[in-house]
Chains A and B, each alone.
Chain A
Amino acid sequence: MNEMNIGRLLRSATTGYVFGCSVPEPEVPHFGMFVKAPAQRGQSEVVGLIYNIAIEDDLFVRQMAATPNLSETYIQDQRANRQVPIEVSVLCVGYRNGGQYAHALPPQPPITLDWINTCADAEVRDFTQRHDYLQLILDAPDAPADELIVAALQRAVESRPPEDRERYRREAGRELAKLLSRDLPRLQRLLKRLAP
């Protein structure tokens, strides 16, 4: 997958941000996707994982929902020209400063209306070479951690050439085992989903 603009930042904090976009494409945005936002006037880039996509209603939608015999054109028009954007919540799992990624919270969050981009395969690969970000996911208070871990790791696996995938899965599994060695049932559930 290549990098692409998928929305603009609505609000942000050190631990995460929310961006808005219009009608979702079938492929983007989706749960567990790696995205990035500029910060510190472009000095750094905050890497995050999408953990929630919320589509809120507005006055028009409510009215239309109650309208009988709604025409397809209206529906399409409402979707394309929404009053309120779709809200996508992102968990910060690291940042890039110069050429290097850090698996830690960013020094500064991105600023409103900054463009949000998806991460290209090469970036995902680079970022997920180490697994320290998994701890940030486990610690996140709002995100569904286990689901997010599975989704993120699947994405990390897919970003790699097929001959590398098995090794990567095993490494990631080992990392999870380290983090969750105290909670075997949970670990076992995760590993089952990660297994090829």
Chain B
Amino acid sequence: MTDSELDKFGIFKKSDAPRDNSIGIVIGGSLSKGLDVRLDFGDVEHGVPAGKIIEDMAVGKYVVIGGKSKKFFAIVTDISLDSNNPDLPKAPPDPDDTFTADVYGSSIAFGRLQVSPMLLMDEESKEPRPVKTIPAHFSKVYEATPQDVNLVFGQEDASHWHIGSPLDMEGVKVNLDLKRFVERSSGVFGKSGTGKSFITRTILAGIIKAQSAVNLIFDMHNDYGWAVRDEHGREYKGLRQLFTSGVQVITLDPETSRHRGSKVDGTLQIGLDQIEPEDVEMLAGVFGLSDVQVGALYYLRRKLGKQWIAQLLDEHDTAAVDELEEAEKVQKGTLRAIQRKFEMFRPDRMGFIRNGMPPDDMVDYIFNALNRGTNIVLEFGVYGNTLAAYVLVANFLTRRIHAKYVDKKNKAAGQVGEEPKPLVITIEEAHKFLDPDIAQHTIFGNIARELRKYNVTLLIVDQRPSGIDDEVMSQIGTRVTCLLDNEADIKAVFSGVSGAGQLREVLARLDTQQQALILGHAVPMPVVVKTRDYDEKLYEAVVDSVGTSRKHAERKKAIDGEE
């Protein structure tokens, strides 16, 4: 008879079974609502004082459930206190009676976890698979080890980019599958100051390094191109500095760029004659244009021709506009309202706008650069503070670049020419472009919805995801979410994600900086990470792989001497 068999009869030898490292057992739950885990009692003798297991837990942590042949990976979504006796709250031990408190804490009072099972790994399958069932009653629950996490997130390699570490697991890498990340549109969300720009820059550096796509970045706050300073005055390298070749900065505001010491490779100017009603339509929200006024834009363009905006703005020669007004095709009020709002297109107010046509066709330039695999950061300088400018330029360029992509893709399908390189367009304040009122008929809404039909996807960065059209949100493949505390925003981030309800608590409890919940297409299961520090180590990781890296390494070797 074995010891345990003897135990059944109350017969035993001297035995003091060592505690394994499990933290509890499954006592109930469901696939849709998550599992109920009863945490083990404390056990001072084995170094676990009463309550330690509970206090060491955190929402967002990983646990592994199960035995030898099948292992479930799950994420902790809630933690609570429970006891064997419902009267305990009414008859708690005297706080000074440490003996009783200790005994209670290791035999009557215990902790409970709500965990959401995500992946299943069994002996035959090499790769973890999504769960379709749940572990049986009383399965043991363990804290995930670094090995477990590595098994799920794989090794860092050419297309898997280290983006952070799980909670309390410094040194363990959570890797983003960049190929999958660029396959569908993605989003980075979070309140202001939570680290959206930093994590976006980290992701972009990964995409550029891995060359999984080319990037067109509408850099509203000058966060990506050249050096950025944080609130403590520390300086961080921009993408243009990390990748000496392969990234170009195009500026709308050469003067500010020069002041910042930013290296620029070109200046974008938009001619008034280039602007079409479709480019302006998206500004309806920003300008406060009514439907009637938007309709009038198209009419004006038809009647006045290419120079429609110039004519609307012309204070000296008002003949054409007066004529329209007299013919009463457009109401006087409408016309005046449009004129007033178009004031901001005057070249003396928006330095990047000029009369007529610009000297260079920057659309062509950018399209060609992208097709060579060169990433473009469009730096807005001071115009980043003017939402209308940002929306106008992003819309203007994206419409034209997208059209060229569609053309090129169609030609490639007809065996003329090659496939365009996958393109990721990064936009900030995305809800201004993807607002439910306009997302139906704007270029960004289209791109989000058509998936990667034309090899173009979005990377949207936003602090107010609730302002984004539902249908668009549900198309977002990978969501990287820093802290959000507005209910509507939290709800929006989870739209279209099955079983997301359980993760809400996780999201609402993130640290205010440098923590993110990542879920979706590019990760095998939702994960809470402390995002990777954006520092010298990251710079080195990037340099290692780019063309310049070998030279760099050789030079370094020459300086350092033999290893």
**A interface list, Cβ under 8 A from B:** 94, 99-104, 126, 129-130, 132, 167, 169-171, 173-178, 181-182, 184-185, 188, 191-192, 194-196
One of A126, A177, A192 near B107 (C-beta < 8 A):
A177
Q: Are the CB atoms of A102 and B14 closer together than 8 Å?
A: no
* Residues from chain B with Cβ under 8 Å of A126 in the complex: 14
Confirm or deny: B11 has a beta carbon within 8 angstroms of a beta carbon on chain A: yes
A177 to B105, CA, bound (A): 10
Q: Look across to chain A and name the residue whose beta carbon is closest to the beta carbon of B107.
A: A177
Tell me, rounded to whole Å, the shortest Cβ–Cβ distance linking B108 to chain A: 5
Q: Look across to chain B and name the residue whose beta carbon is closest to the beta carbon of A182.
A: B85
Given contacts A167-B45, A195-B99, contact A181 B85 (CB under 8 A): yes
Confirm or deny: B84 has a beta carbon within 8 angstroms of a beta carbon on chain A: yes
Q: Which of B9, B45, B84, B99 has the most CB of A within 10 A?
A: B99
One of A132, A170, A182, A192 near B10 (C-beta < 8 A):
A132
Given contacts A167-B45, A184-B85, A192-B97, contact A174 B103 (CB under 8 A): yes
Confirm or deny: B286 has a beta carbon within 8 angstroms of a beta carbon on chain A: no
Tell me the dominant secondary structure on chain B's binding face: loop
List 15 extra interface pairs beyond A181-B107, A184-B87, A191-B93, CB under 8 A: A100-B6, A100-B13, A102-B9, A126-B14, A129-B12, A167-B44, A170-B106, A173-B100, A173-B103, A177-B103, A181-B85, A188-B93, A192-B97, A195-B97, A195-B100
* Residues from chain A with Cβ under 8 Å of B85 in the complex: 181-182, 184
A99 to B14, CA, bound (A): 11
* Residues from chain A with Cβ under 8 Å of B553 in the complex: none
Chain B, 62-97, CB within 8 A of any chain A CB? 84-85, 87-88, 91, 93, 97
Q: Are the CB atoms of B107 and A174 closer together than 8 Å?
A: yes
A94 to B93, CA, bound (A): 32
Tell me, rounded to whole Å, the shortest Cβ–Cβ distance linking B526 to chain A: 37
**B interface list, Cβ under 8 A from A:** 6, 9-14, 41, 44-45, 84-85, 87-88, 91, 93, 97, 99-100, 102-104, 106-108
* Residues from chain A with Cβ under 8 Å of B87 in the complex: 184
Q: Are the CB atoms of A104 and B9 closer together than 8 Å?
A: yes
Q: Are the CB atoms of B14 and A129 closer together than 8 Å?
A: yes
Given contacts A181-B85, A184-B88, contact A170 B103 (CB under 8 A): yes
* Residues from chain A with Cβ under 8 Å of B100 in the complex: 173, 188, 191-192, 195
* Residues from chain B with Cβ under 8 Å of A192 in the complex: 97, 100
Tell me, rounded to whole Å, the shortest Cβ–Cβ distance linking B305 to chain A: 87
Given contacts A167-B45, A181-B84, A181-B107, contact A191 B99 (CB under 8 A): yes
Q: Are the CB atoms of B107 and A184 closer together than 8 Å?
A: no
Q: Look across to chain B and name the residue whose beta carbon is closest to the beta carbon of A196.
A: B99
Tell me, rounded to whole Å, the shortest Cβ–Cβ distance linking B209 to chain A: 55
* Residues from chain A with Cβ under 8 Å of B106 in the complex: 170, 174
Given contacts A167-B45, A170-B44, A191-B99, contact A177 B9 (CB under 8 A): no
A182 to B12, CA, bound (A): 27
Q: Are the CB atoms of B107 and A178 closer together than 8 Å?
A: yes
Q: Look across to chain B and name the residue whose beta carbon is closest to the beta carbon of A177.
A: B107
A104 to B10, CA, bound (A): 7
A167 to B44, CA, bound (A): 9
* Residues from chain B with Cβ under 8 Å of A171 in the complex: 45
One of A130, A170, A174, A188 near B91 (C-beta < 8 A):
A188
Q: Are the CB atoms of A101 and B12 closer together than 8 Å?
A: yes
Tell me, rounded to whole Å, the shortest Cβ–Cβ distance linking A170 to chain B: 7
Q: List 11 A-B contacts (CB under 8 A).
A: A100-B6, A100-B11, A100-B12, A130-B12, A173-B102, A176-B103, A177-B107, A184-B88, A191-B93, A194-B99, A195-B99
* Residues from chain A with Cβ under 8 Å of B102 in the complex: 170, 173
* Residues from chain A with Cβ under 8 Å of B104 in the complex: 177
* Residues from chain A with Cβ under 8 Å of B97 in the complex: 191-192, 195
* Residues from chain A with Cβ under 8 Å of B44 in the complex: 167, 170
Tell me, rounded to whole Å, the shortest Cβ–Cβ distance linking B100 to chain A: 5
Q: Which of A100, A184, A192 has the most CB of B within 10 A?
A: A184
A121 to B87, CA, bound (A): 39
A191 to B84, CA, bound (A): 17
Tell me, rounded to whole Å, the shortest Cβ–Cβ distance linking A76 to chain B: 45
A104 to B107, CA, bound (A): 24
Q: Look across to chain A and name the residue whose beta carbon is closest to the beta carbon of B43.
A: A174
* Residues from chain A with Cβ under 8 Å of B107 in the complex: 173-175, 177-178, 181
Tell me, rounded to whole Å, the shortest Cβ–Cβ distance linking B82 to chain A: 12
Tell me, rounded to whole Å, the shortest Cβ–Cβ distance linking B135 to chain A: 25
Q: Are the CB atoms of B91 and A184 closer together than 8 Å?
A: yes
* Residues from chain B with Cβ under 8 Å of A100 in the complex: 6, 11-13
Q: Are the CB atoms of B91 and A102 closer together than 8 Å?
A: no
* Residues from chain A with Cβ under 8 Å of B99 in the complex: 169-170, 173, 191, 194-196
Tell me, rounded to whole Å, the shortest Cβ–Cβ distance linking B358 to chain A: 81
A191 to B97, CA, bound (A): 10
A75 to B93, CA, bound (A): 51
Tell me, rounded to whole Å, the shortest Cβ–Cβ distance linking A141 to chain B: 20
A185 to B14, CA, bound (A): 33
* Residues from chain B with Cβ under 8 Å of A167 in the complex: 44-45
Q: Look across to chain A and name the residue whose beta carbon is closest to the beta carbon of B91.
A: A184
A185 to B85, CA, bound (A): 12
A101 to B107, CA, bound (A): 25
A181 to B106, CA, bound (A): 12
